[in-house]
Amino acid sequence: MGYYNSNDKKTGKRGYFASSFTGLIAGALLVGVILPGVTDAEPETAVGATTTESVSGVQTTSTVVTSDVTEIVEQTNDAVVGVSNLQMAQQNPFSAPTATDNEAQEAGAGSGVIYKKDGDTAYIVTNNHVVEGAEDVMVTLSDGTELDAEVLGTDVWTDLAVLKVPSKSIETVAEFGDSSVLKAGEPVIAIGNPLGLQFSGSVTTGVISGTERLIPIDVNQDGTEDWQSEVLQTDAAINPGNSGGALINAKGQLIGINSMKIAQAAVEGIGLAIPINTAIPIIADLETEGAVERPSMGVAILDLAEVPAQYRTGQLGLPAEVEGGIVVQSVVEGSGAATAGMEAYDVIVELDGKPVKSILELRQYLYNETEVGDTLEVKAYRGGELMSFELELTESM
């Protein structure tokens, strides 16, 4: 889903996380959001104003100002942490050994949100691309305390990951809100670590620009759209390192996990976050199971669009009017598809009465509309004949 920018060995600069989308939206980066602001209202309280006179005779006034934004940040800021991806550096076989050759070094840094504290353990949600490829993960609290973290589970499809750390030094935990009730124009606050831990705890404010946006994702970076991620859109500026940070509503509740931005020359102010209602069930599975349980038909598949025209009418025997579908390349022995009688070169065109024309549509239907154990009605062409199958969905491996 994402990749990190490795450390520059000549300058010693810290790496940070980013990822480019291919497909429908070129140049969208997987970086965390510093999401936009909560209110434009004037400060509610000005406390402790004192007037002094400088040596030059000019009077200055020192005022401590608080507002809705500052109060929310004070309540939630400690729940946002830095997440460092540590990896063994590539060694030059011709260079002399050094004392740090066998030590993991920071390959990139992102953000995370503490969402639960249970006894001696605290749990943190971040992005999958923040910890992807890590040999070790280090969490840095807002006061600078560093904790070794264990990755409990990751999910490439939703770009989420869950970590656990000792809870002794942790007091603040984020409160989940309800992202389903968000409206365009609603004020929000984003907290994260743009450009890594150098700017830890950065706060930005803005509004929700749109809800239920679908963004194409190229999971394996092969130039083909694999998934469509549902996200919240905000007008905040997004920078590398904000990935996994918190998007907070005006009540101080966590309503999104900052994850992406659209990065094109003609685009400004399009930041994206994973809605918390989408994230919660994924977080629960990753915390308890280490992976997300998703249904599987038990087939290896290929988009019909990738099959040359002569093979569609020849080897597959498809009617000329069939322009979209999914070709079964092989069937897993003992799977639901095998039990139902499906075979290689069957061409799937319908699931539960709904047409499917691509692997993306098939995957979106399976993952969003069905569960393990459900019975799936499949229609597929075999040698020019449209056939029906009923198969039981099993857990994907």
Q: One of 84, 111, 129, 259 is an active-site residue; which one?
A: 129
How far, CA to CA in Å, does 339 sit from each of 69, 298, 308, 373? 58, 10, 30, 14
* Contact status, residue 69 vs residue 38, Cβ threshold 8 Å: yes
Which whole-number Å values give the CA distances from 311 to 255, 306, 345, 349, in the listed order?
Answer: 49, 10, 11, 17
Amino acid (1-letter code) at residue 288: T
The first and second tokens of residue 111, run together, are 């953000």
**Residue with structure tokens 């807002």?**
142
Q: Nearest to residue 328, comparing CAs of 301, 359, 349, 356?
A: 301
Cα angle value 290/295/301 (rounded, 5°): 115
| 169 φ/ψ angles, rounded to the nearest 5 degrees | -95, 5
Residue 99 structure tokens: 């004392």
Q: Classify 353 in phi/psi space as left (phi over 0), alpha (psi -120 to 50) or beta.
A: left
187 alpha-carbon distance from chain centroid: 22
User: Does the annotation count 358 as an active-site position?
Assistant: no
Which residue from 30, 69, 346 is spatially nearest to 191, judged by alpha carbons? Answer: 69
Q: Exposed/middle/buried for 260, CB within 10 Å: 0-12, 13-18, 19+?
A: buried
Of the residues 78, 136, 155, 159, only one is catalytic, namely 159
Helix (H, G, I), strand (E, B) or coil at 277: helix
Active site residue 243: yes
- Give the pair of three-digit tokens for residue 27: 């140049």
| The one catalytic residue among 19, 179, 229, 243 | 243
Residue 159 is a catalytic residue: yes
State the DSSP code for 33. Answer: B
List active site positions.
129, 159, 243
